[in-house]
């Protein structure tokens, strides 16, 4: 099984390599692809030094699965080339996510054995969907009102370097991620809204999102108010979340994990889960996950594992 990682020198690319190191189905050394900037850079893989190569149109000959994490423009250019060369592309960028012919996959929710291009969802969308899906199955989700608090690692290596150079008096919360849209939102908010509807197969779901960037090194947080068709029972909600693979839940209303506490862990952690005193059909919760792992690399490698298992 020959794997290529495009964007191997970036935060997500390096996290993908760490995940691949742990996969028993990886039986050949992966091909590391970057831009010219990092060509020649050496990255450790299972105690062997691998060299990064600048991507080109022939890079995907002989590749079975290509994990892309080098931005939307690079994906748009190279994903069709890789698919034509016979690879399955699992793409971390937003380039193909809302394409109706491309599956947008969280393996615990909507697994696929598809070929061609498979899109990995937005990092915040993944952790929010993981928390909402078991509750939807139990009570029937009608609405979700979300505020995200997204760490700087979500904006890549350069953003982490920028944070390192700031003094504590400059730290702030920025209520804007991405480009402005005509309805007053920013593109990150639009991604959460539309990707949730697609992944959960709920095209009419009422979703609102305010996405903020916070001076946190790694790990995204989301505060969610979810409204359901049926009256909620807290014990049933806790049980549904606890039973869902990849999700952990705090037993008491007052308990929670922080984004930093779940860094380097694969779980989506739900805390502060409590009833909404204004509506017997609503729940409030706090959801955290490592955006580089379940929000990106782990989810992508899980998709790859399902492709391998299905024998595609
Ligand atoms: N960070 C997250 O939490 C997260 C979560 C989900 C999805 N994503 C998505 O994953 C992608 C990568 O994010 P990141 O945080 O890892 O960014 P990053 O740390 O800035 O890394 C970017 C990677 O892309 C490569 N690259 C950039 N331009 C390229 C080009 N023209 N040709 C080939 N390679 C190129 C870079 O190679 P060089 O070293 O050669 O520049 C580097 O390996 C983005 O699409 C992002 O939206 C990120």
Q: Could you tell me if 286 and 184 lie in one domain? A: yes
Q: Is 127 in the pocket of ligand 1 (CB under 6 A)?
A: no
Question: Could you tell me the CATH number of the domain that includes residue 93?
Answer: 3.40.50.720
Q: Is 292 in the pocket of ligand 1 (CB under 6 A)?
A: yes
Q: Could you tell me if 200 and 81 lie in one domain? A: no
CB 154 within 8 A of CB 291: yes
Strands 220-228 and 282-289: antiparallel
Q: Could you tell me if 132 and 262 lie in one domain? A: yes
Residue nearest to atom 20 of ligand 1 (CA): 156
CB 71 within 8 A of CB 9: no
Q: Could you tell me if 19 and 85 lie in one domain? A: yes
Q: Could you tell me if 175 and 269 lie in one domain? A: yes
90 Cα to the center of ligand 1, angstroms = 14
pLDDT recorded at residue 312: 59
CB 285 within 8 A of CB 270: yes
Q: Could you tell me if 117 and 181 lie in one domain? A: no
Q: Is 202 in the pocket of ligand 1 (CB under 6 A)?
A: no
Q: Is 88 in the pocket of ligand 1 (CB under 6 A)?
A: no
69 Cα to the center of ligand 1, angstroms = 5
Domain span holding position 228: 124-291
CA dist., res. 122 & res. 114, Å (int): 19
Q: What's the token pair of residue 25?
A: 């189905």
Q: Could you tell me if 144 and 278 lie in one domain? A: yes
**Is-above-0.95 flag for pTM?**
yes
| Domain count across the chain | 2
Q: Could you tell me if 28 and 176 lie in one domain? A: no
Q: Could you tell me if 302 and 253 lie in one domain? A: no
Ligand 1 atom, smallest distance to 72 CA: 45
Q: Could you tell me if 272 and 302 lie in one domain? A: no
pLDDT in tens, the chain (312 residues): 999 999 999 999 999 999 999 999 999 999 999 999 999 999 999 999 999 999 999 999 999 999 999 999 999 999 999 999 999 999 999 999 999 999 999 999 999 989 999 999 999 999 999 999 999 999 999 999 999 999 999 999 999 999 999 999 999 999 999 999 999 999 999 999 999 999 999 999 999 999 999 999 999 999 999 999 999 999 999 999 999 999 999 999 999 999 999 999 999 999 999 999 999 999 999 999 999 999 999 999 999 999 999 985
Q: Could you tell me if 19 and 69 lie in one domain? A: yes
121 Cα to the center of ligand 1, angstroms = 15
CB 241 within 8 A of CB 234: no
- CA 275 from centre of chain: 27
CA dist., res. 128 & res. 133, Å (int): 9
What's the per-residue H, E or C state across the chain? CCEEEECCCCHHHHHHHHHHHCCCCCCCCCEEEECHHHCCCEEEECCEEEECEECCCCCCCCCCEEEECCCHHHHHHHHHHHHHCCCEEEECCCCCCCCCCCCECCCCCCCCCCCCEEECCCHHHHHHHHHHHHHHHHHCEEEEEEEEEECHHHHCHHHHHHHHCCCHHHCCCECCCCCECCCCCEHHHHHHHHHHHHHCCCCCCEEEEEEEECCCCCCEEEEEEEEECCCCCHHHHHHHHHHCCCEEECCCCCCCCCHHHHCCCCCEEEEEEEECCCCCCEEEEEEEECCCHHHHHHHHHHHHHHHHHHCC
Q: Could you tell me if 132 and 93 lie in one domain? A: no
Question: Could you tell me the CATH number of the domain that includes residue 230?
Answer: 3.30.360.10
What's the per-residue H, E or C state across 116-170? CEEECCCHHHHHHHHHHHHHHHHHCEEEEEEEEEECHHHHCHHHHHHHHCCCHHH
Active site residues: 123, 220
């Amino acid at each position: 099984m020959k794997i290529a990682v495009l964007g191997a020198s970036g935060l997500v690319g390096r996290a993908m390599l760490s995940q691949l190191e742990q996969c028993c189905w990886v039986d050949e050394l992966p091909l590391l692809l970057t831009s010219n900037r990092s060509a020649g850079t050496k990255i450790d893989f299972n105690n062997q030094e691998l060299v990064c190569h600048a991507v080109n149109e022939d890079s995907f000959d002989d590749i079975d699965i290509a994990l892309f994490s080098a931005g939307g423009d690079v994906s748009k250019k190279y994903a069709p080339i890789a698919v034509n060369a016979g690879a399955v592309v699992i793409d971390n960028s937003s380039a193909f996510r809302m394409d109706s012919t491309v599956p947008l996959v969280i393996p615990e929710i909507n697994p696929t054995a598809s070929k061609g291009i498979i899109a990995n969802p937005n990092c915040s969308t993944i952790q929010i969907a993981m928390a909402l899906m078991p509750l939807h199955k139990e009570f029937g989700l009608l609405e979700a009102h979300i505020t995200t608090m997204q760490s700087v690692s979500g904006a890549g290596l350069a953003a982490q370097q920028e944070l390192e150079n700031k003094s504590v008096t400059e730290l702030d919360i920025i209520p804007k991620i991405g480009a402005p849209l005509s309805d007053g939102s920013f593109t990150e908010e639009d991604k959460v809204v539309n990707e949730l509807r697609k992944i959960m197969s709920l095209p009419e779901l009422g979703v609102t999102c305010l996405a903020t960037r916070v001076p946190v090194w790694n790990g995204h947080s989301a505060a969610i108010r979810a409204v359901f068709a049926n009256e909620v029972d807290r014990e049933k909600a806790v049980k549904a979340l606890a039973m869902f693979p990849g999700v952990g839940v705090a037993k008491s209303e007052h308990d929670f994990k922080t984004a930093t506490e779940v860094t380097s862990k694969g779980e989506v952690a739900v805390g502060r889960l409590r009833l909404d005193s204004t509506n017997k059909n609503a729940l409030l919760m706090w959801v955290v996950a490592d955006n580089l792992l379940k929000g990106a690399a782990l989810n992508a490698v899980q998709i790859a594992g399902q492709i391998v298992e299905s024998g595609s």
